[in-house]
Amino acid sequence: FQNLSFNFLKNSVITDVTTKDSKNFHVNCIGSSNVTFQRFTVSAPGESVNTDGLHLALGNDIRVLDSIIKTGDDCVSIGDGSVNFRIQNVTCGPGHGVSIGSLGKNPKEKDINGIWVLKSTFIGTQNGVRIKTWPSAPATIRVSNLHFEDLTMQNVSNPIIIDQEYCPYNHCKLDKPSLIQISGVTISNIKGTSYSESAVTLACSGLKPCQGVQVSNVDLRYTGTRGKLTSVCKNVKPVSKGT
């Protein structure tokens, strides 16, 4: 059901392409190495289901640059086995933001190492940047070296969220914590507005608490009406600097 698949490519540059109103994911890029998407445009209604913009996994050195992604699900979704991915100067919205995961359901999943989301803007999205792992799931991978920097949020419901209790529609059990270790996370220079009360949610695993999380210069205002803007921390001791 994908509009386009760019799988098992090497040393490729894909520029000035528009994909519109896919029935499912717009683009797959699986098992590829040294691939750049530049000036890529994705267009779908905000209410369209499972219309992820670009789904990237099981590859290395993948870049999404200078692009506009408007869709009904993740603007960019990043699966397991991803090494050295860079999302930069992307405008996302509507959609669910940039997501790493969901992870944990397949015991054969591979580690993720080195994800950069930089100098991008999120407009009216359900999330900004998100890491999501399933509880009570078999995978024991490591997710490390993650950098979310210089991002602008415009009325975003969950600007920054680590969710290791990801369980949509109660389709899982919460009796066992996620077995996935998240470490080496930098969250820096995040500005704009949050539509939900929680500007930064770090809900980590009770069995594998997040390690090495640094938060600096987060300047978000609340545009909702339910109380005050807060942050949520579970099973993590972040180091904070600046605002």
96 is catalytic: yes
Q: How far is CA 7 from the centre of its chain?
A: 21
Question: Please, is 164 exposed, middle or buried when counting C-beta atoms within 10 Å of its C-beta (0-12, 13-18, 19+)?
Answer: buried
Q: Which helix (H) or strand (E) holds 101?
A: strand 98-103
Distance CA 144, CA 56 (A): 17
> Contact 100/75 with Cβ under 8 angstroms?
no
Catalytic residue among 26, 55, 96, 147: 96
Question: Taking the alpha carbons of 200, 127, 155, 38 in that order, is the dihedral positive or negative?
Answer: positive
Integer distance in angstroms from the first to the last C-alpha of the chain?
Answer: 44
Question: Please, is 171 exposed, middle or buried when counting C-beta atoms within 10 Å of its C-beta (0-12, 13-18, 19+)?
Answer: exposed
**Active-site residue set:** 96
